[in-house]
Amino acid sequence: MLEIRGIYAPIATPFTVDSKELALDKLREQLAFYNSTNLAGYVVCGSTGEAILLTWGETERLFDAVAQSTDSKKQLIAGTGVDSLLETIERTKRAGELGYCAALVRTPHYYKPLMTEAALLNFYLRLADASPIPILVYSIPQFTGVEVSPKLAARLAQHGNIIGIKESSGRLDVIRDLVAATPKEFRTMVGSASIVEPALKVGACGAILGLACVLPELCALLFDLAQSGDAKAAEALQQKLEPASKKCVSDLGPAGVKFSMECRGLYGGPTRGPLLGLTEAEKHEVREILAAYQPAASHSA
């Protein structure tokens, strides 16, 4: 079974200044920096990457560009989930052709009242049957209104091509219940930087963090400290990362991540509508928060 472990950055999609086109040259610059860090790999076209605001043509170009620019030691996970099962299958197959090791597939949600556990079970099992690469289930109920319960995760874990879940509610009790309900080889990933250290304690294998786009070195260090058994240092770093996690990622979303990257000397660029950029007051607050992470936040791309 594919080993998923460590900290993964959900790549922020760079647009040109008018947000109409992909800025692939800037993407390659981002990856040159990330490749030099201890990140385990990248997720392409996730929530931080504004996946739902991209055309399929743009998505495919991003998959290809990242695959061409990634260090061979880094794992690549493709965000392929859309509400249509057939299109999700096609996107996942294309990611497999481009060399991605797994697909991260969010829950379909438009017909929310009809997205019962039976419907979700059918969706993921049929996808897993058709997919050439392993599937990671993506539960992000704060965006979709649809949650993958530990009971459903346990049923999905019985399929050999469904290898884990990214749980992004930020609730430690949910992580704990998922770990308890699923086999040891089923990989539970955290989607919130605010609970990484305690989640690793209860059995999570790693995290996919918007904050890792901004502070990849410190996010990777947090994982390493937790795995080495240095609980005191891991807890201290977890606490130190909390302000940036809350404001730059949770509160401000992709725009907050992108502006935070700009503060590091990386290209973030604009978000795409309907998302708005930050106000001057929000920018000031982000700068003040990131100042606490010097010299880690002094990279110049």
pLDDT in tens, 123-133: 999 999 999 99
- The contacts of residue 289 (CB under 8 Å, 6+ apart) are 243, 244, 247, 248
* Domains of the chain with bracketed CATH: 6-230 (3.20.20.70)
What is the rounded CA–CA span in Å between residue 156 and residue 114? 19
Q: Longest C-alpha distance within the chain, in Å? A: 50
| Confidence grade of residue 296 (pLDDT, cut at 50, 70, 90) | low
pTM for this one? 0.95
Q: What percent of the chain has pLDDT over 90?
A: 96
Question: Are the C-beta atoms of residues 204 and 175 closer than 8 Å to each other?
Answer: yes
| Confidence grade of residue 301 (pLDDT, cut at 50, 70, 90) | very low
- Residues designated as active site: 166
Taking residues 44-59, report their average pLDDT.
Answer: 98
